[in-house]
Chain A
Amino acid sequence: MISNPDIPREKAELAAICSLPGATAGRVREMLSLFGSPSGAWQAIRAGKARGTPAAGPLEEWASLAAGREPHKELDEFERAGISTVVRGEEGYPERLDEIFDSPWVLYYRGRLSVPGTCTVAIVGSRKATPYGLEVSRWLARELALRDVNVVSGAAYGVDSAAHAGALEDGGFTTAVLGCGVDVVYPRSNASLMERIRASGCLLSEYPPGTPPSRVRFPERNRIMAGMSRLVVVVEAAPGSGALITVDHALAAGRDVMAVPGPILSANSAGTNALIRTGASPVTCPEDLLAELGMSRAVGVSAQSALPADTNKGEPDLALLSRALGRGFTTAEELSREAGLPVPDTLAALSRMEVRGSVVRGPGGCYHLAAD
């Protein structure tokens, strides 16, 4: 372990070691135990004396890469750019993350770290979520954030973005764990959301600033999401989805996993339904999550009964349509047939419900009831 992580010099050297190519958590651990401290290890690397250590392969080139670097200045520069660092053992380092076997030695972040003791829940799922997945993700995140839960997700499209946005909706706290440097905006169209997360939440990454996104880094960062969370909620996942990798990490780390059930014909719910079949608890409403976290005792208030039932009083078209929507019809054509309304009236009523927020429209011209 680190002898004294509060010494900025040691911290900087540790960060520098971790930034070398191939410096996995395991290798860094071996280096540290071999040389006693980050300083010792860094000196050894620079002097090329690290040859012959257990992690010999990449060390050949480390000496040249480390030559001329001044870890201390690098960290100062990041600090000036608004990027902070936290290392294992330091205060603020996510508590649970320390428990997993390959926890990152250094984390870079923008924004602020969550207050120690905060309950942390990861919400993950498909990037190409359906309107249902987006709506559920947003709703669960908002309800959790209202109860001061730190909502963790990966800032990707779809479920991730909806979770972050939902948590921020009423001023909650959320953490985005990135597969690139914390100063890299990816995906680009999420720029404004990420700026909001930075302002009132936390952008977190184990990769040094400037690291570009890459295919291999996303599964790696999933272990951080799983590791720092008390509970992992999968909202929508097709078989083979990256969200299921997070589940594997969560199970390996002994975290609870819950899944949101979905229609059995929907490819996007096949992964979550399979999780439920193999033993994950289903999420039918935010209370289910709170009960699991020990924050509420009420169990089983279903989402449907939480829907506002009577907002359409005095507007028969809207009432007819919400009933048709509740029965699972989605396209304007089906809805107009089911509600017995002419197409123009149906379209007009759907617009009014959309504007009111009781209906959301997704790709393919499909309409769904909103969760709240």
Chain B
Amino acid sequence: MGMEAHPIEVEVDVTNGLPAFDMVGLPDAALREARIRVKSAIRNSFFQFPRTRVNVNLAPADIRKEGPSFDLPLALAILEANGQFRLGRDRSFQAAGELSLDGRLREVTGALSIAIGARQSKAAFLLLPRGNTGEAALVPDIPVYGVGNLREAVGFLEGSISLRPAESSRPDSVPVNDATCPDMAEVKGQEPARRALEVAAAGGHNMLMVGPPGSGKTMLARRLPGILPALSLEEALEVTRIHSVAGLVAPGGSLVTARPFRTPHNSISAVGLTGGGVPLPKPGEVSLAHGGVLYLDELTLFPRNALESLRGPLEDHQVTIVRSMVTVTYPSRFSMIASMNPCPCGYLGDPQHACACAPGDIQRYRSRLSGPLLDRVDIQVEVPRLTRRQLQERTAGESTSLVRARVTKARRLQEERLRGTGSFCNSGMTQALVERFCAVSPEGERFLGTAVERLGLSARSYQRVLKVARTIADLAESETIQLEHLAESVQYRCLERSVFTCGAR
């Protein structure tokens, strides 16, 4: 349920009576259908399905159960209760697997959580479809056996077949995985945007890119997971677990080593973002992006309530989904990166294209983003479109690994500074921590005061400017925040500037 696996006891009673197969204990539709699969799988594995009454109880009976992973335990319990085989191993084992009609086993979702649950409930061993063993073997101290079909499972439990437990696939550290993320070196030009991306990665800041179509916003965003520090083992396990629950780990796959990059389309609902579903809520995009990046392209086109639903996960780094029967919590610590056009037609401020929007339209367009959401975006940058000539002139930029090295160093500084405070990076600093760690010289204080006054920065953005300046200082490996760090930070607040009246101070 959620990320946690609860052991369910499968009780089977084969008694006299008219042939029937009944199941109690809050099974859902997919689980009710198990009757058909189990019956056929048993027959097609050259066993007999009892021609009497079969009663099944799933205990505890007050938890809703769903999905096809009960097929294997059901079939095994029926066969054993019917006396078709004799258990030759420890009775306190656990099993999960979906049966196909011919008796073969299919992979289930959440194998990692199932293995963790099995270890916690001190099961003797765990029996899983072979494709799930790579994932489950990440959990130490629980032997995991992989089987291909029902006959093999029965043979193993009888003791007539011996299997070797799956080798632990748990590495000591997470290998750097550059294969899945495109390289920064492929980005030509766009130096200011690259720099902003680096600052965002270094401080864990959320970022919004404003630019006309074709300026390379998506290209930049795709490269953010790569420049984030490599996942730690704990993070990787957590990410794998979420992806496993959502069924996103490929059959035979094990640890997820690359930071996730999720790009939900702007037609997504609030539930799609935060998670939900019946009877047991599944993780949403914010949780699938846990440990990685959530990229919202065309931010203004997202439904307003979907955007508002992001506020909680952005603030708390987890989502709690409450439904009538269940409450589950999924982690959601992710970097949000979003893009939008400067105006409905996309060409405001573009030197080559005239913008066709009325000023009122532009204001309406921008007002779709609520203040509270923008408040959680530390970095706002404009990404102008480059002309073909400019693109040809530009040389390739630094590679992902170079940038990542700097980001990792800056992150390490932050971890040391913030140890014991509950925050991990600069973006997560509370107001008290900002006051403690973002001391500014009197000169800087004066500069910020004038900046707020002359550039129309909101008082709320003051904190953001300080946090980002702290990250810039960390990138420069400077103890204190210098004036130049503050000054650069001020440039990352482009949406606060009024669009039409910048001449009228």
Contact = CB atoms under 8 A, between A and B. Distances in A.
Given A355-B454, A365-B494, A360 B487 contact: no
B215 to A, nearest CB: 10
A279 interface: no
B488 A162 contact: no
A332 interface: yes
Most buried by B among A267, A345, A355: A355
Contact of A157 (B354, B497, B500): B500
Interface string A317-361: 000000000000011110010000001111111111011010011
A128 B382 contact: no
Interface stretch (A44-52, A129-137, A306-314): A129-137
Interface string B321-352: 00000000000000000000010000011110
Interface residues of B, number: 46
Nearest to A136: B503
B503 A355 contact: no
Given A165-B504, A189-B363, A362-B502, A355 B192 contact: no
A158 interface: yes
A20 B108 CA distance: 78
A100 B487 CA distance: 54
Most buried by B among A267, A331, A336: A331
Contact of B359 (A187, A364, A365): A187
Contacts of B491: 332, 347-348, 350-351
Contacts of A360: 502-503
A365 B447 contact: no
A162 B349 contact: no
B504 A161 contact: yes
B427 to A, nearest CB: 19
Contact of B351 (A265, A333, A345, A352): A265
The main secondary structure of chain A at its interface with chain B is: helix
A372 to B, nearest CB: 11
Contact of A351 (B194, B384, B488, B499): B488
B363 A348 contact: no
Given A157-B500, A161-B501, A347-B491, A363 B342 contact: yes
Interface string B247-271: 0000000000000000000000000
A343 B191 contact: yes
Given A347-B192, A347-B488, A350-B491, A162 B447 contact: no
Contacts of B503: 129, 131, 133-135, 137-138, 162, 165-166, 360
Interface in A172-192: 187, 189
B455 A365 contact: no
Nearest to A268: B354
A237 interface: no
Contacts of B450: 355
Most buried by B among A166, A343, A350, A364: A364
Interface in B153-179: none
Given A265-B351, A267-B354, A362-B349, A127 B359 contact: yes
A348 B484 contact: yes
Nearest to B484: A348
Interface residues of A, number: 50
A178 B46 CA distance: 91
A89 B471 CA distance: 68
B182 interface: no
A133 B501 CA distance: 11
A193 interface: yes
Interface in A105-137: 127-129, 131, 133-135, 137
A363 B504 contact: no
Contacts of A330: 351
Contact of A193 (B342, B485, B502, B504): B504
A366 interface: yes
B451 interface: yes
B472 A344 contact: yes
B189 interface: yes
Nearest to B355: A128
Interface in B461-475: 472
A202 interface: no
B248 to A, nearest CB: 37
Interface string B281-310: 000000000000000000000000000000
Given A333-B192, A344-B472, A354-B455, A363 B499 contact: yes
Most buried by B among A189, A336, A347: A347
Interface in A182-234: 187, 189, 193
B359 A348 contact: no
A340 to B, nearest CB: 13
Contacts of A348: 483-485, 487-488, 491
Given A128-B355, A349-B487, A361-B502, A355 B191 contact: no
Contacts of A165: 501, 503-505
A91 B484 CA distance: 59
Contact of A364 (B192, B194, B195, B348): B348
16 contacts: A129-B500, A134-B503, A138-B503, A157-B359, A161-B501, A193-B504, A267-B354, A332-B191, A345-B484, A346-B192, A348-B485, A348-B487, A354-B454, A354-B490, A355-B454, A366-B349
Interface of B: 189-192, 194-195, 212, 342, 348-351, 354-355, 357-360, 363, 381-384, 447, 450-451, 454-455, 472, 483-488, 490-491, 494, 497, 499-505
